[in-house]
Amino acid sequence: MLAKIVVDFQNCLIFILISLFSLLCLFVFVFKKPKDSRGCDLPPSPPSLPIIGHLHLILSTLPHKSFQNISSKYGPLLLLRFFNVPVVLKSSANVAYEIFKTHDVNISSHGHPPIDECLFFGSSSFVVAPYGYYWRLMKKLMVTKLFGPQALERLRHVREDELERFHTNLLSKEMKGETVQIAKEAIKLTNNSVCKMIMGRSCLEENGDAARVRGLVTETFALVKKIFLTQVLRRLFEILGISLFKKEILGVSRKFDEFLEKILVEHDEKPDFQGGDMMDVLLAAYRDENAEYKITRNHIKSLFAELILGGTDTSAQTIEWTMAEIINKPNILEKLRKELDSVVGKTRLIEEKDLPNLPYLQSVVKEGLRLHPPAPVFGRKVLEGCTIKGYYVPKNTALVVNAYAVMRDPHYWEDPDEFKPERFLTTSSKKEEEREQELKYIPFGSGRRGCPGVNLGYIFVGTAIGMMVHCFDWRVKGDKVNMDETAAALTLNMAVGRRDTC
């Protein structure tokens, strides 16, 4: 019996030693910190925890505010570590200038897709595609068919029809004395506009398409934080054989796939859809056996899924945030309404052609985007080692840009947390010189991989805000709109759905 106990003890001790040795190897070879092959200083790094590094710093609260707090304490350019993954965090305008003006080509990649099979942000994705022929082909197509000046003018009637429908819907609610949830109504406007622009058809309320798409957009944005973590920690998950969040993400992806496949089939079968819209062009390229780059059906569906995600919820959020700021400041609302009355008059709705003549409205929209960027944090990948602000950043390092912090940087913005549209009316030489030296306003990203739909975003928000201020009086329950944010995703959402009465 004693011999058996001794043997069992020895076996247990050997098992413990082997386990400890395995953990040590795992820590040394998998969770090791990045080394600088050039012998230069790496960016400073805050104190971290064993194994997980700095991961705990972004899981408890809003990521953009967590990053902002870290940067305010330790500096505008930091090296963080999430397990074995090095991440460089940038949070100031002067660092943004050097990164996007000097190293733009080197950071023109978003890194590996989080999950290859996923329809959005997967291997067929435009958003995370490498900076190469396919990405340039799709970018050119979007400019010519959707986002360029000629394309925007060609599709202007689509947006005007949807804006008039938006106005009619709000007017009906006013006549009935119903409350209005601005975000809910705004997403109908942007969703129908985007669907009709890219597919030649609205997502109809009658057959449930509109509600289905809005539901998919909501489900996807609820997963954004998980998608971000999956992308950043992809290599670690592969090493450990973990498929964290994969089932959940692919579940939403399959729903998108089913919906878009149905639309593709309808487009093929119904001749009244053949109007030369973007879907027609992509389907023609898909069928072309002699095309220089052979796109697949998944390429088409991935692009459309990302266009719907990028053009609906984000614009609706900006409309909601900006209207909340305006409602909370009656003097701004009154000044904006006077400008609209003088330019648009009182007998018609605002039109897109009015926007260049409404400088205060443009300033209100820009200020709303500055304080409440729809994507407060975005990521890139450093393809080759480079020096930024005197620090060496190794190749293949993830780069996280905190646009939220950049646009609230007190070194470059006076009263950075205050809603002051007038700041964008300033055109002094000093301000122009400052804009040339610094990149401090980046609500749509910057550089080659900046959002291609910038102009469309300004049109959506500008015309919607202009119409709502010009045509309706707004009041809220209580003294002011609650401006708290939610921690549900990396996008900037209101914590409490606002219901304003028109």
Dist. CA 284–CA 47, nearest whole Å: 55
Q: Tell me what pLDDT residue 501 has.
A: 44
Output the six-digit token pair for 223.
């997963």
Dist. CA 287–CA 297, nearest whole Å: 10
Q: 475 pairs with which residues across the strands?
A: 501
Q: Tell me what pLDDT residue 392 has.
A: 95
E strands within 223-317?
none
Dist. CA 210–CA 208, nearest whole Å: 6
Contact call for residues 54 and 81 (beta carbons, < 8 A): yes
Q: Tell me what pLDDT residue 271 has.
A: 56
All structural domains of the chain, each given as residue ranges with its CATH number in brackets, are 30-91+376-404 (3.30.43), 92-374+408-441+443-486 (1.10.630.10)
SS3 86: strand
Which candidate, 403, 356, 377, 381, places its Cα nearest to that of 88?
381
Q: Tell me what pLDDT residue 60 has.
A: 67
Query: Kind of pairing, strands 397-402 and 85-90?
Result: parallel
Query: Kind of pairing, strands 500-501 and 475-476?
Result: antiparallel
pTM across the whole model: 0.86
Query: Kind of pairing, strands 77-82 and 85-90?
Result: antiparallel
**CB-based contacts of 205: which residues, under 8 Å, 6+ apart?**
211
Q: Tell me what pLDDT residue 27 has.
A: 43
Span 67-81, pLDDT tens digits: 999 999 999 999 999
Q: Is 451 annotated as a binding residue?
A: yes
Which residues of the chain have a pLDDT value below 50?
Answer: 1-37, 273-274, 428-429, 433, 436-437, 498-502
